[in-house]
A = this chain, B = another copy of it.
């Protein structure tokens, strides 16, 4: 069973196509790369991709990587509910792979910090840049 099957029935055709493209890729894709991959399925304009992405991100099935202007399929069962956006990424600058991490200690520290400066936190963008274990070993 695929990891996003549960919600998959609710997705529209375009949303399924975009979700499929991101699931098949083993790394982040830009909206325009997705568009190109889906041209054979009838996609013709960026908006078709962006509209689907908007919904998928909202559902927690896809995450947007701000520092890459790219999108990646959620690597967990899906980041719905509480976990939504309580997530961070380790982006390998060598191979391009992205590891999605959840770390309660880090998130707690962030929340404490925000509270200390009276900042009402709605979302944390945390993207680590560097080299993954695999590339490091080479």
Q: A105: which B residues are within 8 A, CB to CB?
A: 109, 113
In the complex, what distance in Å separates the CA atom of A70 from the CA atom of B123? 18
Interface range, A side: 20 to 34
Number of identical monomers bound together in the oligomeric complex? 2
Give the B-binding residues of A (Cβ under 8 A): 66-67, 90, 92-93, 99, 101, 103, 105-106, 109-110, 113-114, 117-133, 136
CB contact under 8 A between A99 and B126, given known A105-B109, A113-B106:
no
Asked if A126 and B126 make an inter-chain contact with CB atoms under 8 angstroms apart, the answer reads yes
Contact of A136 among B103, B120, B131 (CB under 8 A): B120
Q: Which residues of chain B come closer than 8 Å to A114, judged between CB atoms?
A: 90, 128, 130
7 A-B residue pairs with Cβ-Cβ distance under 8 Å, sorted by A, are A66-B67, A66-B127, A92-B119, A106-B106, A118-B133, A120-B131, A125-B127
A64 to B91, CA, bound (A): 17
